[in-house]
């Protein structure tokens, strides 16, 4: 019992690892890739619920948090949902609501201008593969 408690405490004390993501890079302008990504999402009849301008926020607030580092030249996250795919995965397990809305991110860093990384989270095995497949298709279409 004592060793199980110690292992539990160690697990909670350990720093969390970043969640895995599936990414691809493309040589193009950020604006071109962002437009292609939004077009691929909307072209499937999906609605972008939110466009999170993460790069702008980090740049705008870096001095406020005591930093001088520019992380991204540009970085956005498109959030959206699919009624069909969401119903499919949530009918199997209602707890899959935790993954909705789905997001696709893209960013360019100061160290690699003209190289845009596009990605999405790597979902758990099983029914969430349907979401991952949808995201992979959207990214593939956007990156041509």
CATH of the domain at 48: 3.30.310.70
Q: What is the pLDDT of residues 58-102, one digit of tens each?
A: 999 999 999 999 999 999 999 999 999 999 999 999 999 999 999
Other beta carbons within 10 angstroms of residue 44's beta carbon come to 14
Q: Would you say residue 13 lies in a domain?
A: no
Q: Would you say residue 20 lies in a domain?
A: no
pLDDT for 9 equals 39
24 vs 76: CA distance, rounded Å? 15
Q: Would you say residue 22 lies in a domain?
A: no
Q: Would you say residue 7 lies in a domain?
A: no
User: Cα 2 vs. chain centroid, distance in angstroms?
Assistant: 39
Single pTM value for the model = 0.84
Q: Would you say residue 57 lies in a domain?
A: yes
Q: Would you say residue 137 lies in a domain?
A: yes
Structural domain range at position 48: 29-143
> Domains in the chain: how many in total?
1
């Amino acid at each position: 019992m004592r060793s199980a408690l110690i292992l539990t405490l160690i697990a909670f004390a350990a720093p969390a690892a970043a969640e895995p993501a599936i990414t691809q890079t493309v040589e193009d302008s950020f604006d071109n890739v962002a437009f292609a990504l939004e077009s691929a999402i909307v072209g499937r009849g999906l609605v972008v619920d939110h466009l999170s301008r993460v790069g702008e926020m980090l740049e705008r607030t870096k001095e406020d948090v005591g930093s001088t580092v520019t992380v991204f030249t540009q970085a956005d996250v498109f959030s959206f949902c699919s009624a069909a795919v969401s119903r499919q995965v949530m009918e199997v397990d209602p707890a899959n609501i935790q993954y909705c809305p789905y997001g696709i991110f893209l960013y360019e860093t100061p160290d690699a201008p003209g190289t845009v990384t596009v990605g999405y989270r790597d979902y758990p095995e099983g029914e969430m593969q349907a979401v991952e497949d949808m995201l992979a298709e959207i990214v593939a279409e956007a990156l041509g």
